[in-house]
Copies of this chain bind each other. A is one copy, B any other.
Amino acid sequence: MRPSGRAANELRQINLTRHYTQHAEGSVLAEFGKTKVICTASVEERVPRFLKDKKSGWLTAEYGMLPRSTHDRMQREASTGRQGGRTLEIQRLIGRSLRGVIDLAALGERTITLDCDVIQADGGTRTAAITGSYLALVDAIHYLLSKNLITTNPIHGAVAAVSVGIYQGIPILDLDYQEDSEAETDMNIVMNEAGAYIEIQGTAEGHAFHPHELQAMLNLAKEGIRQLLTTQDQVLNHN
Binding site for B on A (CB under 8 A): 21-24, 27, 34, 36, 38, 40, 42, 44, 62, 64, 66-71, 73, 76-79, 81-89, 91-92, 96, 100, 113, 115, 117, 119-121, 157, 187, 191-192, 194-204, 207-211, 214, 218
What's the dominant secondary structure at chain A's contact region? mixed
Q: Which residues of B contact A84 (CB under 8 A)?
A: 88
Q: Which residues of B contact A120 (CB under 8 A)?
A: 21-23
Residue of B nearest to A157 (CB): B208
Q: Which residues of B contact A210 (CB under 8 A)?
A: 195-197
Q: Which residues of B contact A195 (CB under 8 A)?
A: 210-211
**Cβ-neighbour of A197 out of B34, B73, B77, B202 (below 8 A):** B202
Known: A23-B68, A62-B67, A89-B85. A208 touches B197 (CB 8 A): yes
Q: Which residues of B contact A40 (CB under 8 A)?
A: 66-68
Q: Which residues of B contact A194 (CB under 8 A)?
A: 208
Q: Are A81 and B79 in contact (CB under 8 A)?
A: no
Known: A62-B79, A78-B64, A119-B38. A100 touches B204 (CB 8 A): yes
Task: Give 20 CB contacts A-B under 8 Å.
Answer: A23-B69, A23-B121, A24-B68, A40-B66, A42-B67, A44-B73, A62-B67, A64-B76, A66-B117, A68-B115, A77-B78, A88-B89, A100-B204, A191-B208, A197-B209, A198-B203, A198-B208, A200-B202, A200-B214, A211-B218
Q: Are B66 and A38 in contact (CB under 8 A)?
A: yes
Q: How far is the CA of A191 from the CA of B119 in the complex (A)?
A: 30
Q: How far is the CA of A34 from the CA of B20 in the complex (A)?
A: 12
Known: A68-B21, A68-B27, A214-B197. A96 touches B62 (CB 8 A): no
- The distance from the CB of A51 to the nearest CB of chain B, in whole angstroms, is 17
- The distance from the CB of A7 to the nearest CB of chain B, in whole angstroms, is 23
Known: A22-B120, A92-B89, A197-B209. A113 touches B62 (CB 8 A): no
Q: Are B79 and A83 in contact (CB under 8 A)?
A: yes
**Cβ-neighbour of A207 out of B66, B67, B196 (below 8 A):** B196
Q: Are B69 and A78 in contact (CB under 8 A)?
A: no
Q: Which residues of B contact A200 (CB under 8 A)?
A: 187, 200-202, 214
**Contacts A40-B67, A197-B211, A200-B200 given; 20 further ones with Cβ under 8 A?**
A21-B120, A24-B68, A27-B68, A42-B73, A62-B76, A62-B79, A66-B115, A68-B115, A78-B82, A81-B81, A82-B82, A84-B88, A86-B92, A89-B89, A191-B208, A194-B208, A196-B204, A198-B204, A198-B208, A201-B202
